[in-house]
Chains A and B, each alone.
Chain A
Amino acid sequence: MLFTQIEFFFFLAAVFAAVLLVRNHRAQKAILLVASYYFYAYWDWRFAGLLLVCTAVNYWLAGRMEGSSPVRRKLLVTVALVYSLGVLGLFKYFNFFVDSFRTMAGVAPDAASTLDLILPAGISFYTFQTLSYTIDVYRGNLRQCLRFSDFALFVAFFPQLVAGPIVRASEFLPQLETPRNLSWERAYDGFRQFVLGLFKKVFIADRLAAFVDPGFENAAALSGLTLWIVVLAYAVQIYCDFSGYSDMAIGIARAMGYDFTRNFDHPYLATSIQDFWRRWHISLSSWLRDYLYVPLGGNRLGRFRTYLNLFVTMVLGGLWHGANWTFVIWGAWHGIALALDRLLTGKDTGRSARPLTRKLPGFFRSLLGWALTMIIVLVGWVFFRSPDVNTALSILARMATFASGVAWYHPFTLGVLGGIALYHALLAAGKSAWFELKPDTVRGPAILFTLIWLVIAFYPREFQPFIYFQF
């Protein structure tokens, strides 16, 4: 079920009504658990079983850890990792590795067959969530969850189940221990965030898709300038699509009394690539930092290892997004950029290698940093969105040379790009108060209702799933 489907609004109304009518905390949690499994089974009931097994295996293995010897704990966490990553690998990467093997070995297609598997929705997200729990219990950072139903609700809680944010067990499980406060303030906050997310997804991202999809499909014939617009539009599309989903998830959870941490913080205002990763998909980048980068040694093993660890973390982060070399290159590109950023800012040596920019006034230094970051991010998006590496390289070549070709100036896209640029400029100028939508003003409800009407009036004819569902 998608947040943008009519059926979802019936479902949400029913869940809210049930949670409000049933005052008992345990009963409320039971309702949410059943609703979450229904939400998942609505898409494909067969995979609800997989979700349950994944939940049970991690719960059981983590439950055996407390009081066990270090060797046994290590064994249990290894089993959890092998199981969870094995299931993820089978569904998500099996065909990719077989295809890559075929290509590299020059093997005929029938010599190594692939499987015709449907990727279970949200598998990458719930695998990381369950692993965060098991690893935290293994490390002793978290006590094991005493109720299986609580743990199952943590994994399957419908607002974040299929596309995040990746909620940590240490953040969510304590919230299940006490009754939730359902107040009007929370309801309004949740409603506001949900509407903003819905608007970003349906009005902006889905309508930009009508330009971006054919743009990438026909990139070889489009002019270089058009391709710049296509790539900029994709940058806005993926941001509004994914952050829109996160906003809706956070809004629903908030209205129900649960708090998720912020997943995006205006990433296109970042003035360095490190800054970008502190603002983009925060729940994933912090997960990768805590469960991959730090265990690899982080920045504790010298400069070279720090850069290598950054690179490996980002490559694996890229692969997490999908089984394609384009994602691997996207991750590697960001890994290299992060390593270079550390090197040039002198974080590890104490000597900044930026003598020229140091002399610039603060504003121009920020502007230069922002422009450079945007170029790195946009080049990355070309790989991220392209169907294959050759297409990505060809698009970049056409952009770099402003190649001639079919010109396409999509009015809606140009309007959105202008609007987004103005919005970011105002935020950078410290005018964020202009965008606060308070409940006790005329402006707040006027803007929120207008956004709802716009979503209804311009609901796209063609179905557009959330981009991050495929991950």
Chain B
Amino acid sequence: MGDLSCSRSPDFTPLKQKMRILGKWLAGGLLSIVAIWIVTSVFSDSTPIEEWSEPLGRNILAPGSTYQERREGWATNHIGEHGLFGSRPEDLAAPSKIVIWGDSFVEAFHVEDASKMHRQLTGLRQGETRIKSAAIAVGERFCSIADYRFRIPDYEAVLGDVKLHVIHLYSLEDTFPDQYPGGRISLFLTEPTLHLEKYDNEFREIETPVSPGRARLLIDQYHLQFFSRLRTSLTKVARLNGLRFAPGIAQKSTGDPAAHRAWNRFLDPAWGSAEPPVEAWRFLLRELDSTTEAPILFVYAPPTPALADGQLVLENPEKNLADHFSSLCKEQGIGFVSLEEPFRRFLSETGRFPKGFHNSRPWEGHYNADGHRLVAEAIYSWIQENRHVVHPD
């Protein structure tokens, strides 16, 4: 091989040999590309494909596409009509529906379709021969109650007869006004007066319709996510996005990963002792109630049981808030189910948590298949106890 610079040494490598080595490097490079394609198609998350939905007036996950989750849990999700995770055509064709609303807990891309709460709920109700209703989940990460208020009419229009709207709440943070967690969400505000503000209103950026290109479909079909992400990363690097070259000043590290802090923030006693925003909640519940003819049920998931610094936390820090919210629901004629006891019982009986996975942390994060089952069972029990509300006929 040749010499690069300063102190030159004679290079006697014949051209033929150089070409042979170059050929081997090219072959090695190609083999490495095949290897990384195989590895990433099995072990890395895929990239979701979005497309514009005319009836819903927003971008949704492309029906017929798949989404593969590998970071938290292990699942291949099939996207049904209207961008719904794990919804089968026969569920969508059912004469009546129970719609479960929620954020990433309901989106549930961490578990296989058959384990998702709505599919388990449909399974539980299969024995009831008289009632032909299926459960559908409308979950989207970061969404909040304010979004459900605006989306319920849209989905009722496309889904047909809805017998019950179930709103899943992970902690009560979502019910508080003036939260701004960011992302593509609507807002619940107190200024100038209590009101809900739709995401695509005149003040905020209106969603641009997207359609998946041929390249995106090929990426999905052949699991080429690595190459797509590599291109995105290289483009970012080439534009020097987010890079710093100037000398800086060091900061003391907190040593606490952001994702972990996010899960544990609800265990902080200061959060649980917040004053219940009673008037705001009354307003919110009235707004929701006026949105639909169908009954509404809140399914509340507490942040407990959880592990914090090696200690098992069983006492729900926001119990006081949950009790207040529950009584206001009762006052408004809205159902309320707490998962506090089912979760605690499950832990004591099995030693396992309803949230978390072995490839993330088996005590925090999103629901695992057991967690989804517990939610489905809680909804099922409530329906059994309130058949007159869900099926008045």
Which residues does A use to contact B, with CB under 8 Å? 6-7, 10, 19-20, 23, 25, 28, 38, 41-48, 118, 121, 179-185, 187-188, 213-214, 217-222, 404, 406-412, 439-450, 452-454, 456-458, 461-462, 465
Contact = CB atoms under 8 A, between A and B. Distances in A.
Interface residues of B, number: 55
Contact of B248 (A44, A220, A406, A408): A44
B245 interface: yes
B373 to A, nearest CB: 20
A45 B247 CA distance: 6
Contact of A453 (B36, B307, B309, B361): B36
B113 to A, nearest CB: 21
B226 A445 contact: no
Contact of B29 (A43, A182, A439, A446): A446
Nearest to A462: B257
A450 B361 CA distance: 28
Contacts of B309: 217-218, 220
B36 A181 contact: no
B250 interface: yes
Given A179-B6, A188-B1, A38 B307 contact: no
Interface string B222-248: 000010011001000100000111111
Contacts of A441: 24, 28
B311 to A, nearest CB: 7
Interface string B14-45: 00000011001101110111011001100110
Contact of B307 (A19, A47, A221): A221
B31 A442 contact: yes
B351 interface: yes
Given A406-B363, A446-B27, 6 more contacts: A38-B247, A44-B248, A406-B351, A408-B358, A448-B32, A461-B259
B21 A450 contact: no
B258 interface: yes
Contact of B6 (A180, A452, A457): A180
11 contacts: A45-B248, A181-B9, A213-B257, A218-B363, A219-B310, A221-B311, A442-B28, A446-B29, A457-B40, A457-B44, A457-B229
B193 interface: no
Contacts of A449: 28-29, 32-33
B84 to A, nearest CB: 27
Contacts of A408: 358, 361-362
A450 B258 contact: no
Contacts of B237: 6
B359 A445 contact: no
Interface of B: 1-7, 9, 20-21, 24-25, 27-29, 31-33, 35-36, 39-40, 43-44, 226, 229-230, 233, 237, 243-250, 252-253, 257-260, 307, 309-312, 351, 353, 358-359, 361-363
Contacts of A217: 309-310
B307 to A, nearest CB: 5
A35 to B, nearest CB: 13
Contact of A182 (B6, B36, B362): B6
A23 B6 CA distance: 5
The A contact surface, by secondary structure, is helix
A213 B257 CA distance: 10
Given A214-B260, A453-B32, A445 B4 contact: no
Contact of B28 (A184, A214, A443): A443
Nearest to A118: B250
B276 to A, nearest CB: 31
A6 B236 CA distance: 11
B6 A445 contact: no
A457 B223 CA distance: 13
A410 B250 contact: no
Contacts of A407: 351, 362
A462 B379 CA distance: 36
Given A43-B248, A408-B361, A450 B32 contact: yes
A408 B7 CA distance: 56
B307 A446 contact: no
Contacts of A222: 310
Tell which of A10, A38, A457, A465 has the most Cβ of chain B within 10 Å: A457
Contacts of A406: 307, 351, 353, 362-363
Contacts of B25: 445
Contact of A221 (B233, B257, B310): B310
Contact of A44 (B39, B245, B249): B249
A445 B28 contact: yes
Nearest to A23: B6
B347 to A, nearest CB: 10
Contacts of B250: 43-44, 47, 118, 121
Nearest to B229: A457
A412 B359 contact: yes
A6 B24 CA distance: 28
Nearest to B347: A406
Nearest to B361: A214
A185 B358 CA distance: 44
Given A408-B361, A412-B359, A446-B29, A41 B310 contact: no
A20 B4 contact: yes
A218 B6 contact: no
B32 A445 contact: yes
A256 to B, nearest CB: 10
Nearest to A117: B252
A447 B31 CA distance: 9
Contact of A45 (B3, B4, B244, B249): B249
Contacts of B243: 6-7, 10
A182 B4 contact: yes
Given A45-B247, A45-B248, A182 B5 contact: yes
B219 to A, nearest CB: 14
Nearest to A20: B5
Contacts of A453: 32-33, 35-36, 226
A353 to B, nearest CB: 41
A408 B377 CA distance: 26
A121 B249 CA distance: 12
Contacts of A221: 307, 310-312
Contacts of B362: 406-408
Given A182-B6, A221-B311, A446-B31, A10 B1 contact: no
Given A118-B250, A449-B29, A439 B21 contact: yes
A217 B310 CA distance: 6
A183 B21 contact: no
Given A44-B250, A456-B233, A184 B1 contact: yes
Nearest to B226: A457
Contacts of A187: 4
B252 A183 contact: no
Contacts of B260: 214
Contact of A456 (B4, B9, B230, B252): B230
Contacts of B33: 449, 453
A220 B5 contact: no
B339 to A, nearest CB: 20
Nearest to A220: B310
Contacts of A447: 28, 32
B39 A454 contact: yes
Pairs A-B, 10 closest by C-beta atoms: A445-B28, A220-B310, A449-B32, A184-B1, A446-B28, A453-B36, A41-B247, A44-B250, A45-B247, A446-B31
Contacts of B247: 38, 41-42, 44-45, 48
B24 A442 contact: yes
B346 to A, nearest CB: 14
Nearest to A184: B1
A24 B259 CA distance: 50
Contacts of B5: 19-20, 23, 182
Contact of B27 (A42, A188, A404, A442): A442
